[in-house]
Amino acid sequence: MKKLLLIVNPAAGKTRSHGPLFDAVSVFCKAGYLVHVHNTTGRGDATQVAAAQSGDYDVVVCCGGDGTLNETVSGLLQAENPPPLGYIPRGSTNDFAATLGLSSNPVQAAETIVTHQPQMLDIGFWNQRPFVYVASFGAFTRSSYAAPQANKNALGHLAYILEGIKDLNTLRPYKMSLSADGEVLDGEYLFGAICNSTSIGGLMKLDPSRVVLDDGRFEMLLVPNPKTPVELQNLLLALLNQQYDAQGLIFRHVSSVTVKPSEDLPWSLDGEYGPSSQQVEIVNHQAALRFLL
């Protein structure tokens, strides 16, 4: 009998009924899997379990938000021969699930896992720390990891918006030396994202036709510091209208990025806190992991 490890973050989507999750387990059982359920006990637990136990299973399934997915992927990448990964999104925003077109219904997500073939997807590394879909800095980045879990569970996406509003009075540019695939883009930026996703924080959207998840390249968006009120207005309009090729914004497809900030620059990695570093190396590892999509 095939074996499936289901890693569940019980804190994610806590206000939702767990009935559909039990039904998802039933889907796995009917497909011929012997299911072992592991409820995570705290930060880092999903990584430890995936790294230590995934080799004993034919499939690993992660059930939680983007942070739980990040931890599970980090653990699988430590395994010698990691099995394919399935994802049942149960978080507040689920950016990567939106990119993949995964259902938020656990039963439908489970049916996708047992009926679809594995696909290889790229994984990013931020100073050797894996991230699944985005490494970002600057405006509103803090809201992705600072919003209290209780607020996320109760308010969902609104919790991120409310947390972001708190940052408006601290909105400021960050000066840095930045190189993307050898192109020098030194300057001052309000926001930057290096991503493999069509959705960032549930706020910014990229055209799906421009995002290829296994091409070895990230989509990089930089928002320069505007010098005049007119420049600021143009930037805001471009962002609101998702016109990322508009004058003033910087949009590239890149495989590696080097950032040397002139001051402390905190990051968000898949919605989790990333500390400031004197130099950040971001590299795309093409087709690094198998996903059941």
Instruction: List residues with catalytic annotation.
Output: 272
- In the Cβ-directed half-sphere of 37, how many Cα atoms lie within 13 Å? 13
CB atoms under 10 Å from CB of 98, counted, come to 18
Task: Please say whether the beta carbons of 64 and 9 come within 8 A.
Answer: yes
Phi, psi of 8 (to 5 degrees): -115, 130
Say how far apart CA 281 and CA 31 lie, in whole Å. Answer: 42
Say how far apart CA 89 and CA 98 lie, in whole Å. Answer: 9
Say how far apart CA 293 and CA 291 lie, in whole Å. Answer: 6
Task: Please say whether the beta carbons of 83 and 58 come within 8 A.
Answer: yes
- In the Cβ-directed half-sphere of 29, how many Cα atoms lie within 13 Å? 9
Say how far apart CA 129 and CA 135 lie, in whole Å. Answer: 11
The dihedral built from the CA positions of residue 27, 48, 144 and 262, taken in this order, carries a sign that is: negative
